[in-house]
Amino acid sequence: MKAQIKLGRIFGVDIGLHYSWFIIALLITFSLAGQFQENNPGWSDSLRWTIAIVTAVLFFAAIVVHELSHAIVAKLRGLPVRSITLFALGGVAQIEKEAADAKTEFWMGIIGPITSFVIGVVCLVITAALGWRPPEFPQDPLPAMLMWLGYINIGLAIFNMIPGFPLDGGRVLRGLIWWITGNAKRATTLAARVGQVIAFLMILFGVMQFFRGAGFNGLWLAFIGWFLLSASRESYAQMVITEGLRGLRVADVMSRDYPTIDAYSNLQSFAEELMRTGRRFFVVTLNDRPEGIITPTEISNVPRAQWPYKTVADVMRPLDGTKTVSPNTPIAEALELMAHQDLNQLPVIKEGTLAGLISRAHILQLLQTRSQLHL
């Protein structure tokens, strides 16, 4: 889930929006406007829409705080956090590594719902201090806005505690099972299965509600269930990959035979070779010494009209400015680095010299072989 719109950085974490966020933002704004019209008929249209928009913005700000709480716990436990992205179903913190122990998994899961619940309670307490008494609806704008923020955040906390992996509640369940059994794989398997069962029930109930006349609300519940089902399956698949790579090092799968190209080769001729062979990665050499790497990405950054007048050395990525790994780097860590840098391969450096290459294709082939052998 990558952000298409960057909003800035908080505590060193990039905050951004996915385009799908605008869908839910509009839905929530229209829903709030309808609620305010029903419960506050004395408001003007401009006031009603202004309060609806401000309430929606503050709600998404609360989601950012929710996700930041995950990020802060992750950083305190030594897990790097890349970004937070708001999308159609809320927010997601992109944490680059899985929790290494049950305690970390538990606290990373539960801190989000706790944060949302506290925000909700604080909003309701302030609303009560301003004179609101349930079950009446506040007629003044500020109490009305705070009341809805309180209810929405408490509802978000309750929803996220549903024990369906990878929701926060599912991560809490995974942490508890992990702590009891001492087996991370078993904990993930059980939590993912619970998540899939809950997702199926949500889809079934949503479809039934739709045919009973609930309309969009039923379809929305079914859509959330479908998303949870997909996320649960993907999280389980990620765990299978992680477990399949556990204990393996880059030296186990790296290729010591890699294609090379002379630094003074003409870029036009080299590009034609790439188009003919389909190869995507070459080590650039000068006097038989590795100097850099070149991929279609570097070539595409050069206008095509300049290709005949450029050499490979003019556009290559110098080796000392390239992300590299060592033969002893865990394969899972190398895979995370490739994903983070959006690379398909990495040079392997040993004692300052190029020892080989590791690519996603090498790792995929390893996983396929281990799967066939039931390892």
pLDDT on residue 2 = 64
Among 83, 58, 88, 86, which residue's Cα sits nearest to residue 71? Answer: 83
pLDDT on residue 52 = 93
Domain ranges of the chain: 5-161, 250-372
Identify which has the larger pLDDT, 246 or 77: 77
Collapsed DSSP state (helix, strand, coil) of residue 82: strand
| Phi, psi torsion values for 144, nearest 5 degrees | -60, -45
Task: Give yes or no for residue 257 having a pLDDT over 90.
Answer: no
Task: Give yes or no for residue 112 having a pLDDT over 80.
Answer: yes
Measure the CA–CA gap between 130 and 265, rounded to whole angstroms: 75
pLDDT on residue 375 = 60
Collapsed DSSP state (helix, strand, coil) of residue 13: strand
Collapsed DSSP state (helix, strand, coil) of residue 356: strand
Task: Give yes or no for residue 125 having a pLDDT over 60.
Answer: yes
Q: What is the mean pLDDT of residues 242-266?
A: 83
Q: Across the chain, what does the average pLDDT equal?
A: 85
Does the CA dihedral 214-219-224-229 come out positive or negative? positive
**Contact between residue 84 and residue 67 where contact means Cβ atoms under 8 Å apart:** yes
pLDDT on residue 277 = 80
Least confident of 5-14, 81-90, 270-279: 81-90
Q: Where are the alpha helices (DSSP H) in the chain?
A: 21-39, 45-76, 102-129, 141-160, 168-181, 184-209, 216-245, 250-253, 267-277, 296-300, 312-315, 331-341, 360-372
Measure the CA–CA gap between 365 and 96, rounded to whole angstroms: 23
Task: Give yes or no for residue 284 having a pLDDT over 70.
Answer: yes
Segment 178-206, tens digit of pLDDT: 999 988 888 888 888 888 898 899 899 98
pLDDT on residue 124 = 94
Confidence at 53, pLDDT banded by 50, 70, 90: very high
Q: What is the mean pLDDT of residues 212-222?
A: 77
Task: Give yes or no for residue 3 having a pLDDT over 60.
Answer: no
DSSP bridge partners of 8: 15
pLDDT on residue 167 = 80
Q: What is the mean pLDDT of residues 265-278?
A: 87
DSSP state for residue 320 in the 8-state scheme: G
250-372 to CATH, choices 3.30.360.10, 3.40.50.150, 3.10.580.10, 3.40.640.10: 3.10.580.10
Segment 143-188, tens digit of pLDDT: 999 999 999 999 989 988 888 777 888 889 989 999 999 888 888 8
Measure the CA–CA gap between 140 and 128, rounded to whole angstroms: 12
pLDDT on residue 319 = 80
Task: Give yes or no for residue 100 having a pLDDT over 60.
Answer: yes
Among 155, 198, 153, which residue's Cα sits nearest to residue 173? Answer: 198
Segment 336-370, tens digit of pLDDT: 788 777 777 888 888 778 888 888 887 888 877 77
How far CA 84 is from CA of 13, 140, 230, 262, in Å, comes to: 7, 34, 20, 42
**Contact between residue 253 and residue 358 where contact means Cβ atoms under 8 Å apart:** yes
Among 192, 120, 182, which residue's Cα sits nearest to residue 154? Answer: 120
Q: pTM for this one?
A: 0.73
